[in-house]
Amino acid sequence: MRIDLTEVTWADEGTECTLGELVERSRLSPAEIVELVDYGVLPAVDPHSPQRHFPARAVAAARMAARLRDDFEIDLRGVALALALLQRIEELEGRLRLVSPHAP
């Protein structure tokens, strides 16, 4: 039997994490995280700063990227594309909920 443990962290909108913390929480390498920031699918507080900081919502996106990479064995460009599409779907579903309160 395999038991997976998951760490739960409560973070408000103003919470930030460092590159090291994001690496630890996501199972992505620092190079993979920087590449996803460069692709524009992983948000960074200041993408051009040498000391990278990320908003709390980046943890969920980075974890999703690691799952996509591991589960589907796709390269980082494919992960970036999948994340971009998932983010777009989430955005459109949010708009739909605003327009139609009975939408899923």
pLDDT at 25: 94
Displacement of CA 15 from its chain's centroid (Å): 15
pLDDT at 80: 97
Note the pLDDT tens digit of each residue in 12-52: 567 899 999 999 999 999 999 999 999 999 999 987 888 88
* Residue boundaries of the structural domains of the chain: 16-99
pLDDT at 10: 52
Domain 16-99: assigned CATH number: 1.10.1660.10
**Distance set, CA 70 to CA 1, 26, 74, 75, 99 (Å):** 20, 12, 8, 10, 36
Contact 37, 82 (CB under 8 A): no
Residue 99 in this model has a pLDDT that exceeds 60: yes
pTM for the structure as a whole: 0.79
- Strand 53-55, strand 16-18: pairing: antiparallel
* Higher pLDDT pick, 69 / 51: 69
